[in-house]
Amino acid sequence: MLIFNCTRTACNFFTVSQGGVKVSPVEPAPHTNLADDDLKNSDGTKPALMQWLIHLIRVQGKNIILAMEIKSHYCMIFAGLKKGDATTFIQLFYERLFNNMQWYGESIGFMDETSFQPMATNFIKAHDEFRFFARDDAKIQKSIDNVAKDIRLWASKHDSSGNAAEQAAEFNQRVNSIPHKAGSQQGAIPSEVMFIYWIGHFCNAQEKEIKMARQRFEVLKKRELEQLGLLLRSKKNDS
């Protein structure tokens, strides 16, 4: 089960008024602490939970949704969504996540076009249900605020009049190549942490294959930091 923990701004975005009645997919959270969640699927079975923090910011008049996975801090960025359109958000969420993981896999020679459908099927089998909860997490909020700051900095220096969805996808790759700055995963690369988790859970990768993927990802990581390290360089120049 996917859990989308919505901050106040995200809750407001997903809430619309229909005939004077507020309608929203967001429910009150069962617990304040994410780790205390004890949920069940619609068939009564206990699901594996994948928690995300969902936050909304406005950049140059555009709504930008940030979705950050709690454990890896892997972040996906969505632009151009209409207020209250949770259905399109879910569709784009699955699409972006699958395409991103496939891209990483092909980039290190771990996946090919035959890998996509089994990977997607395994993920949906594990997370075919989702819930929206009104809930924040202070530690993750700090990380997502850093991403928001980077987006605003990037937007101030680049032409943002192009396709918002394409620009969001491009920035998505860039921000996930930046190492964690603090906490238990200091120095870890979000894209690597997420991908290694992904292939272990949804690609049936064994220990030997995971070790190989880590080694290959090191090469990809260095290449990404060289090609997509614009944010780090610009911050350094501005300080």
pLDDT of 185: 60
Task: Identify the residue whose tokens are 């238990």.
Answer: 184
Low-confidence ranges of the chain (pLDDT < 50): none
* Nearest by Cα to 168 from 235, 93, 224, 227: 93
pLDDT score at 229: 55
pLDDT in tens, 65-79: 999 999 999 999 999
pLDDT value at residue 60: 86
Nearest to 9 by CA among 23, 22, 26, 32: 26
Provide the residue type at 202 as one letter: F
Q: What integer pLDDT is reported at residue 172 of this predicted model?
A: 80
Distance CA 236, CA 231 (A): 9
**pTM for the full model?**
0.87
Instruction: Tell me what pLDDT residue 204 has.
Output: 92
Other CB atoms within a 10 A radius of the CB of residue 1 amount to 20
As given in the structure block, the two tokens for residue 61 are 């008049």
Helix (H) or strand (E) holding 159: none
Number of alpha helices (DSSP H) and beta strands (DSSP E) in the chain: 8, 8
